[in-house]
Amino acid sequence: MGAVTALWMMLQTVLASPALAQNSSPARNNTLTYTELLERIESGQVSKIEIDPVRSVAEVYLEDQPRNTQPKEVTLFTGDRNPELVEAARQNNVDLGVRPSASSGAIAWFVTHALLAFLIIVGLLMILRRSSNASGQAMNFGKSKARFQMEAKTGVMFDDVAGIEEAKEELQEVVTFLKKPEKFTAIGAKIPKGVLLVGPPGTGKTLLAKAIAGEAGVPFFSISGSEFVEMFVGVGASRVRDLFKKAKENAPCIVFIDEIDAVGRQRGAGIGGGNDEREQTLNQLLTEMDGFEGNTGIIIIAATNRPDVLDSALLRPGRFDRQVMVDLPSYKGRLGILQVHARNKKLDQDVSLEAIARRTPGFSGAELANMLNEAAILTARRRKDAVTMLEIDDAIDRVTTGMTLAPLMDSKKKRLIAYHEVGHALLMTLLKNSDPLNKVTIIPRSGGVGGFAQQTFNEEMIDSGLYTRSWLLDRITIALGGRAAEQEVFGDAEITVGAGNDIRVVADMAREMVTRYGMSDLGPFALESGNNEVFLGRDWMARSEYSEEVAVKVDQQVRAIATRCYAEARRIIREHRGLVDKLVDILLEQETIEGEQFRKIVAEHTPLPERQLATPAVS
């Protein structure tokens, strides 16, 4: 199939190629450029245009042209349908027609057809060759084709990456590891092997990895997780081996694995067992990562937007033990990214990058870059010499309509979301068993998320699974904080469905406290087996483990927990209403408040619980 298509494309190229049919090249003074033609049409000098699609030229008859003289010839763009020309002709009432090329002479006809015949023969031979190759290939698949790319020099520098300063700072260190490993090895420090970049698409993860290679001046090997996973068992694993072999030969270097979640999913999960091929690939990857010493100068950078599905083995020390969040940019970040991408574009004086940054909440770096490029294309189409605010506006519209998440500009909705998120964030800060707030943001995300408040969890506790009862209760209270704030501020009638997810989390957690951990008045009975593995019909089986009567009691207990926590959440928000309003105003202006700043503002109003005063141990 592929070869036939290729052949067909070759034939078409021959048919459309202007070079072959150009038998009589017109005198130089009898030609016009495309731009001259457009200008003449607009100034009304053109009476008639005939397009010759075979040669891709337009024959132009001018108003003041003497009879029986040759028309002027204009070379057209192939492929493109020359919409400006058609548009201009229509607007200026120029007679526009298509004429089959009669003037191409007999020689051209012969040459074209002889070539066609020749190409058909060559094409057939190629098909034959290919099918005989294919049978040979089946013997050593996976070995022959290395599907990874290598760039000796990426040419990307940290200066080209903007808006994700935290991530950049963390990765600055990696550059030092590559450049001056002695500095670390001399004092016995082991250089980390893997860095996992976590963040939504288009935020600059690939760019960042390239910048590290660029700054360190080392080669950049890259492969995408989805390319590992092939039909035949063993191919992926062999690709991993190949990749690392090449990398070792070229150390120091960066190995970049994009979309690592495609191979790195939790093993053994899912109905009907795992995917053999994927598991083998992952095992090979783990083996390779363990197989080289941290000091060989290879640093593996992987990217994903789904860290939650990754196999825990990947995140263990000695593998991807460093995780760097690469988030959607806030206002300041967007401004930085716009500045980077405006460097090579001609902008009119009236263009304010600040204004653009303010208008584009929720845009990723890739979307901002894309938007500026769209604006530049529009400018060229409109034949202006610099991008103006008009093109920017049009480009923003073009990009937003194609986007999954509408940026928040509607101020009422934005306010409501801000109160909701501040509700969560304030409780994270004031409850004494809560983990500290990392940040609260109202930058919308795909999947209908208007914003979120995020905690810095104590990883030790998460790993050990030793949650205390008071920690769980505070979690539930925090989850209800969004709804509590909505209700306190806007009243019963105005609460929204935005808290739907929170409410479900609460129900699940409260139920687990009662049925699995024995943390209710029902006493220390585990009513459900603590099996987390996903297998068919888990819920259905679990439910039948206790009687109707107990089920009613469980429901009562669950409801009691939720009601108590909700009352607590509302009380705290009511008592700090002035503070809540102030935080919302700041959040509306900044879009994101970092945990540090948030705690400082809160501390000006009310003392922080002891736990919040300590600086968080984990990043």
Q: Which residues of this chain interact with ligand ADP, rule CB under 6 A?
A: 161-164, 201-207, 303, 337, 340, 365-366, 369
Q: Per CB under 5 A, does 203 bind Mg ion?
A: no
Q: Which residues, other chains included, contact 49 with Cβ-Cβ below 8 Å and sequence gap of 6+?
A: 58, 59, 60, 61, 85, 89, 94, 95, 96, 97
Contacted entry of Mg ion, Zn ion, ligand ADP, none for residue 202, CB cut-off 5 to 8 Å set by kind: ligand ADP
Alpha-carbon dihedral sign for residues 365, 367, 372, 376:
positive
Q: Which of 421, 486, 528, 591 is catalytic?
A: 421
CA distance 91 to 38: 11
Least distance to ligand ADP from the beta carbon of 365, Å? 2
Q: Between residues 184 and 457, which has the closer beta carbon with respect to Zn ion?
A: 457
Q: Would you state the structure tokens that stand for residue 301, as one six-digit string?
A: 């950078």
How many CB atoms sit inside 10 A of residue 505's CB?
A: 16
Region near Zn ion per CB under 5 A, out of 47-55, 272-280, 380-388, 499-507: 499-507
CA distance 218 to 250: 9
Q: Per CB under 5 A, does 367 bind Zn ion?
A: no
CA distance 284 to 276: 12
How many CB atoms sit inside 10 A of residue 165's CB?
A: 13
**CB distance 526 to 515 below 8 Å:** yes
Least distance to ligand ADP from the beta carbon of 160, Å? 6
Binding residues for Zn ion, total number by CB under 5 A: 2
Q: Between residues 261 and 435, which has the closer beta carbon with respect to ligand ADP?
A: 261
Contacted entry of ligand ADP, Zn ion, Mg ion, none for residue 482, CB cut-off 5 to 8 Å set by kind: Zn ion
Which position's Cβ is nearest ligand ADP? 365
Alpha-carbon dihedral sign for residues 555, 559, 560, 562:
positive
Q: Which residue has the tokens 């009562």?
A: 556
**CB distance 135 to 89 below 8 Å:** no
Contacted entry of ligand ADP, Zn ion, Mg ion, none for residue 502, CB cut-off 5 to 8 Å set by kind: Zn ion
Q: For residues 468-487, which are near Zn ion according to CB under 5 A?
A: 482
Region near Mg ion per CB under 5 A, out of 39-47, 198-206, 246-254, 489-497: 198-206
DSSP state, 497?
G
Least distance to Zn ion from the beta carbon of 501, Å? 7
Contacted entry of Zn ion, ligand ADP, Mg ion, none for residue 251, CB cut-off 5 to 8 Å set by kind: none
Q: Which residues share a beta bridge with 75?
A: 57
Least distance to Zn ion from the beta carbon of 499, Å? 5
Least distance to Mg ion from the beta carbon of 261, Å? 13
Which of 435, 502, 528, 568 touches Zn ion by CB under 5 A? Answer: 502
Contacted entry of Mg ion, Zn ion, ligand ADP, none for residue 291, CB cut-off 5 to 8 Å set by kind: none
Q: Between residues 337 and 442, which has the closer beta carbon with respect to Zn ion?
A: 442
Which position's Cβ is nearest Mg ion? 206
Q: Per CB under 5 A, does 612 bind Mg ion?
A: no
Q: Give the β-pairing of 57-62 and 72-75.
A: antiparallel
Q: Between residues 440 and 558, which has the closer beta carbon with respect to Zn ion?
A: 440
Least distance to Zn ion from the beta carbon of 271, Å? 31
Least distance to ligand ADP from the beta carbon of 454, Å? 19
Q: Would you state the structure tokens that stand for residue 93, as one six-digit string?
A: 């009432």
Q: Between residues 329 and 450, which has the closer beta carbon with respect to ligand ADP?
A: 329
DSSP notation for 553-609: HHHHHHHHHHHHHHHHHHHHHHHTHHHHHHHHHHHHHHSEEEHHHHHHHHHTTSPPP
Q: Which residue has the tokens 């939720």?
A: 562
**CB distance 295 to 187 below 8 Å:** no
DSSP H helices, 431-468, are: 459-464
Q: Per CB under 5 A, does 206 bind Mg ion?
A: yes
Q: Would you state the structure tokens that stand for residue 27, as one six-digit string?
A: 């005198």
Q: Between residues 211 and 569, which has the closer beta carbon with respect to ligand ADP?
A: 211
Least distance to ligand ADP from the beta carbon of 93, Å? 44
Output phi, psi for 249, to 5 deg. Answer: -65, -25
Region near Mg ion per CB under 5 A, out of 57-65, 96-104, 204-212, 561-569: 204-212
Q: Between residues 376 and 484, which has the closer beta carbon with respect to ligand ADP?
A: 376
Residues listed for the chain: 619
Least distance to Mg ion from the beta carbon of 192, Å? 21
Task: Let me know if 421 is a catalytic residue.
Answer: yes
Q: Between residues 54 and 212, which has the closer beta carbon with respect to ligand ADP?
A: 212
CA distance 399 to 393: 10
Q: Between residues 206 and 266, which has the closer beta carbon with respect to Mg ion?
A: 206
Q: Which residues, other chains included, contact 115 with Cβ-Cβ below 8 Å and sequence gap of 6+?
A: 14, 20
How many CA atoms, within 13 angstroms, populate the side-chain half-sphere of residue 467? 20
> Which positions lie near Mg ion, rule CB under 5 A?
206
Q: In the complex, which residues of this chain contact Zn ion (CB under 5 A)?
A: 482, 502
Q: Which residues are catalytic?
A: 421
